[in-house]
Chains A and B, each alone.
Chain A
Amino acid sequence: MSPLRCFLRTPEAVAGAILLAALIAMALSAALLFPGDPQAIAGPALLPPFQDWSLPLGTDRLGRDVLAELFHGARTSLAVGLAAAAAALAIGSVVGTLAGFAGGLVDEVLMRITDAFQTVPGFLLALAFVSVVGPSLGIVVIAIALGTWPGPARVARAEVLSIRERDYVAGARVIGMHPLAIAFREVLPNALPPVLAMSSVIVAAAILTEAALSFLGLGDPNRVTWGGMIAEGRAVLRTAPFLSIVPGIALVLTVLGVYLAGEGIVETTAVRRGLS
């Protein structure tokens, strides 16, 4: 059975895939469908949804097109979520592999650093980092990754501790391979599957953290974000609740989609491993 067909066997995975595909389509088509600046004024302020079909989801307090903002916000959410998760997984795998493979003092030092990062709540760390360095897309990505990498690092280290006792690692030493080459060519690729299984949780958490930072006004001010939209709508929550509800629903569906698709991938790899 092909991996894709295997993946699409469970209804959860199908739902997750559809949600994610819709999100990616939104992000990719944002510039095509709404070529102008999404933060430009498009009509009268606080126009409710489904009134004017040129502005289907209405406008916000400043008269900006909510649908255009939603599409452009998808780009930010997805970009930040994926970039932060990728950075966290990369840092975590490298640190975990080095700690587990080297052992001894290197392991002690790296794992105590990991402890230090893990004991500080990730959101607080991101908040402090962005407040000090200043909000921009890259800084937000780094801030989120800083609080997230210890998890993957621990999983990678645990996996490496078991892999380094395998015969093929001994075999690589016997042929005279350099220890760093053994760590990154022989050990790391085989330690990755359980680390990658965490990626859906990490992406979802990163998207939520980004939204929370934006909600607090610490997102990139030059970009539309869903968190920023919710914050915008908060001031008029009683009179125009849709301004907060629409991006809120988008956020919920995105996180749900990432979770479901991630579960599907884990199931697929588990089934395939069980078959072989």
Chain B
Amino acid sequence: MSLLTVSNLTKSYRCGSKTIAAVDDVSFHIDPGETLALAGPSGSGKSTIARLVLRLIEPDAGRIEFEGNDFLALSGAALRARRTRLQMVFQDPLAAFNPRATVARVLDDPLRIHGIAARAERPRRIAALLERVGLTADVAPRAIHEISGGQRQRVAIARAIATKPSLIVLDEAVSALDVSVRGQILELLLDLQRQERIAYVFISHDLGVVRAIAHRVVLLEGGQIAESGDARTVIDAPQSAIGKALVAAAPRLNRIRP
């Protein structure tokens, strides 16, 4: 049974007198432990889908079924409790945290809110989370703005896994990182997936990264699905116009290499 099933999801925005469909009748599913990439140019609706799936915004129409339940039917405390299973990592880790927060507070929040660990036990749990994402416990007291971009994204991942989710939405989660850091973060994500069987919705406009880490890909254009299938099959031989354009636009080192 699939972990997440999205059916006929639709969301439009009113812009002056015009109505713009940001997401137009989109359906897809994700299995446990799988990585599904949503790829497309800016304005293709991939980030709107992420926010719809996380119930940060409400759809105009469609169904979202998560872990066998109607996710759209939940509200209030029931929705907040279910959020433990469905987490998100944002593109800019600096914007994703309260500018006044410390690392320890950021990781303490989910543990406290969901009663995952008693107050006395939390510092130990925070240290364990930090170690799990390749950091040391001594970064805990530091302010979010003091640590490096790569460390911040590791903290964001630690916060996402604190509630033991089955699905994490990664919204351009490696796009803003230095290239040398990006590889390490991707390795960490893959390692977590192998160990904990976490599924990912991987949102990106970079087909190179998508091809390297996703099982399947959904290519989007103008809020609609242009093409979908096995990530390597689709990217190695795209059929849709947008797929061909994305592949053609990707920078290639081997064109220069002798």
**Contact between chain A and chain B defined by CB under 8 Å:** yes
Q: Give A residues with C-beta under 8 Å from B.
A: 166-168, 170-178, 181, 186, 189-190
Contact B100 A189 (CB under 8 A): yes
Partner of B163, one of A168, A170, A175: A175
Query: Could you tell me the distance between the alpha carbons of A64 and B83 in the complex, rounded to whole angstroms?
Result: 70
B side interface size, CB within 8 A: 25
Query: Could you tell me the distance between the alpha carbons of A166 and B86 in the complex, rounded to whole angstroms?
Result: 20
Partner of B83, one of A166, A174, A181, A186: A174
Query: Could you tell me the distance between the alpha carbons of A79 and B84 in the complex, rounded to whole angstroms?
Result: 48
Contact A172 B109 (CB under 8 A): yes
A167: B residues at CB distance < 8 A = 90, 92, 95-96
Contact A168 B87 (CB under 8 A): no
Query: Could you tell me the distance between the alpha carbons of A229 and B97 in the complex, rounded to whole angstroms?
Result: 53
Please list 6 pairs of residues, one from A and one from B, whose beta carbons are closer than 8 Å in the complex, sorted by A's number. A166-B95, A170-B54, A174-B54, A175-B113, A176-B84, A176-B114
Q: In the complex, how many angstroms separate the beta carbon of A215 from the nearest chain B beta carbon?
A: 43
Partner of A177, one of B92, B96, B109: B109
Contact A175 B96 (CB under 8 A): no
B110 at the interface (CB under 8 A from A): yes
A174: B residues at CB distance < 8 A = 54, 56, 83, 86-88
B164 at the interface (CB under 8 A from A): no
Contact A176 B113 (CB under 8 A): yes
Q: In the complex, how many angstroms separate the beta carbon of A195 from the nearest chain B beta carbon?
A: 15
Interface majority SS on A: helix, strand, loop or mixed? helix
Contact A190 B99 (CB under 8 A): yes
Residue of A nearest to B110 (CB): A175
Contact A173 B114 (CB under 8 A): no
Residue of B nearest to A178 (CB): B80
Question: Which residues, 88 to 104 on B, are CB-close (under 8 Å) to A?
Answer: 88, 90, 92, 95-100
Query: Could you tell me the distance between the alpha carbons of A166 and B114 in the complex, rounded to whole angstroms?
Result: 23
Partner of B56, one of A166, A173, A178, A186: A173
Query: Could you tell me the distance between the alpha carbons of A189 and B56 in the complex, rounded to whole angstroms?
Result: 22
Contact B109 A168 (CB under 8 A): no
B20 at the interface (CB under 8 A from A): no
B241 at the interface (CB under 8 A from A): no
Residue of A nearest to B80 (CB): A176
B81 at the interface (CB under 8 A from A): yes
Contact A175 B159 (CB under 8 A): yes
A172: B residues at CB distance < 8 A = 98, 109
Query: Could you tell me the distance between the alpha carbons of A175 and B169 in the complex, rounded to whole angstroms?
Result: 13
Residue of B nearest to A182 (CB): B98
Contact B95 A168 (CB under 8 A): yes
Query: Could you tell me the distance between the alpha carbons of A189 and B51 in the complex, rounded to whole angstroms?
Result: 25
Contact A168 B97 (CB under 8 A): yes
Contact B113 A171 (CB under 8 A): no
Residue of A nearest to B163 (CB): A175
Query: Could you tell me the distance between the alpha carbons of A190 and B88 in the complex, rounded to whole angstroms?
Result: 22
Contact B87 A175 (CB under 8 A): yes
Q: In the complex, how many angstroms separate the beta carbon of A164 from the nearest chain B beta carbon?
A: 11
Query: Could you tell me the distance between the alpha carbons of A190 and B101 in the complex, rounded to whole angstroms?
Result: 11
For B51, B95, B109, which residue has the most chain A Cβ atoms within 10 angstroms?
B109
Query: Could you tell me the distance between the alpha carbons of A190 and B98 in the complex, rounded to whole angstroms?
Result: 8
B92: A residues at CB distance < 8 A = 167
Contact A171 B110 (CB under 8 A): no
Not counting A175-B87, A176-B163, A190-B98, a sample of 8 additional A-B residue pairs whose C-beta atoms are within 8 angstroms of each other reads A167-B95, A167-B96, A170-B88, A175-B83, A176-B80, A177-B109, A178-B113, A190-B99
Query: Could you tell me the distance between the alpha carbons of A167 and B156 in the complex, rounded to whole angstroms?
Result: 12
